[in-house]
Structure 1
């Protein structure tokens, strides 16, 4: 019989679940988010309450066998939100803690290989968000940007933008996951707000953004159009470096 371990979907919740598995020496287990769990007649279930202390113990404990780089790969795998990634992470940790050697480059192990592949994909998405995020100045004096990345990379992007825009108040909001990170010149905090999709519609911009900002966006768009040399246009190469799914973030593509 498989023991179903349900958790709240947070990274601390996942680590708490792993603590529970080791504490009770569970072997046949499957970790799954509570929101998508479905009961079966043959499986037993247990819902884990997130415990920050237990999560910290697990995260510190695996440092004995898994390097900081390996731990970051595990975190990126979690941020991927790929189905079953929880059990891939559990398998990776189990192998890492029982092996006498470092397992982080042992790609004969399917969990190690999968974590490495997923982490690379998440890293690429993170770097693209670093490059493609475009801020607009709101009427409240906050530089605001929306994103909808394939993976939940906003926690990875936050440090980059804090360093780059340390003297400005800014908010990056993930429309797909309905949360954002706000920087108030002193610290960053995670916030949730109700946003309408109309915030990115041209007809509604004056409700949210300053006149100067709208004029700047139009000026930038016109510059982008006029500076392009049609005879040298290579759309295939352009799309390779800036895939179409990122165009919605770019003000120069929406003027």
Structure 2
């Protein structure tokens, strides 16, 4: 009994934490996982790993904050990669980017399962509830990533930058950046996530013939630009939007309109950033002319 007490990570009388709070980034979560094993908390079935910005203060739960430490996060990353491989790490990262309230705990349970059973293909064991939840979350994130790549609309500004605003359900900017970097290497462009308050920027002047430029993170853009991007539209952009809206109006066949199917393939939450969905002042005139 005495030996068991000596091996306890917390002295007698000190409350064992039930919630570990980590900085809302991937390294923060990895540091929290390291803390769990360093303090022998992995067998506490009630333990939760929660991001600081998702935590609701409670008088019952005992929560402590975990400091992000890059070297410890790296050690955990290497360990997880050795257990579940590159494909598994992709699922862990995509799951983390979902920003679901309980995702830190779900990911920890999956990692613990992989550590406890290193010879199993844990990422394919959908009979495990946490693995199943992660798989479903990754599927949702992948769907949002695909839609962002399809529905992002760039608007040419007076600074010769193609600018797009988005409000994705999940934090998919880190996942879609490479898609646009490979396709628009000859342009300056930026995509800004209004929900999360940051964006990615591609500066073509930093690229070389053999290598596209690295993406840069941007924050704290002018609120006027974010609320009213039309204020910085170039003349070409204004003309283009008029032409595109006119084309969209004229090719529409009212008799074949299927609003339900249309919303299924193009969810309505994306419409406010699509130029073809904006009100065209002379739409009725164009329709009559047709």
Q: TM-score range by the shorter chain?
A: over 0.9
Flag the 1:221–1:97 CA change in 2: closer, same or farther, 3 A.
Answer: same
Q: What SS does the aligned partner of 2:111 have? A: helix
d(CA) in 2 for partners of 1:184 and 1:19? 37
Whether 1:212 and 2:231 are equivalent positions in the alignment is no
* Count of residue pairs the alignment pairs up: 252
Match of 1:24 in 2: 39
Computing the radius of gyration over CA atoms, which structure comes out larger, 1 or 2?
2
Aligned to 2:198: 179
Give the aligned partner of residue 253 of structure 2. 229
Q: Residues 197 and 118 from structure 1, CA distance in 2 versus in 1: closer, same or farther, beyond 3 angstroms? A: farther
**Unaligned runs of at least 5 residues, structure 2:** 1-15, 205-212, 280-290
> Counterpart of 1:239 in 2: which secondary structure?
helix
Match of 2:109 among 69, 91, 97: 91
The structure 1 residue matched to 2:153, chosen from 134, 137, 142, is 134
Cα distance, 1:225 vs structure 2: 0.9
Deviations 1:64-116 (A, max 9, x none): 22122221111111111111110000000000121121111111111000000
Q: For 2:243 and 2:61, locate their aligned partners in 1 and report how far apart those are by CA, in whole Å.
A: 61
Q: Is the 8 A contact 2:123 2:131 kept in 1?
A: yes
More off after superposition, 235-244 vs 110-119: 235-244
In 1, are the aligned partners of 2:192 and 2:200 still within 8 Å (CA)?
Answer: yes
> 1:10-21 alignment to 2 at 5 Å?
10-21=25-36
Given that residues 126 and 156 in structure 1 are in contact (C-alpha distance below 8 angstroms), is that contact kept between their aligned partners in structure 2?
yes
Q: Which residue of 2 aligns with 1:7?
A: 22
Secondary structure, counterpart of 2:84 in structure 1 = coil
How has the CA–CA distance of structure 1 residues 221 and 200 changed in structure 2, closer, same or farther, with 3 Å as cutoff? farther
Cα offset, 1:40, TM superposition: 4.0
Preserved contact between residue 134 and residue 145 of structure 1 (Cα < 8 Å): yes
Per the normalisation by structure 2, the TM-score is 0.82
Aligned CA distance change for structure 1 residues 238 and 43 (closer, same or farther; 3 Å): closer
| 2:107 is the alignment partner of 1:101 | no
Structural mapping, 1:48-63, within 5 Å: 48-63=66-81
Contact between 2:54 and 2:101, CA under 8 Å: does it hold in 1?
A: no
Matched residue SS, 1:21: helix
Determine which of 58, 66, 69 is the counterpart of 2:84: 66
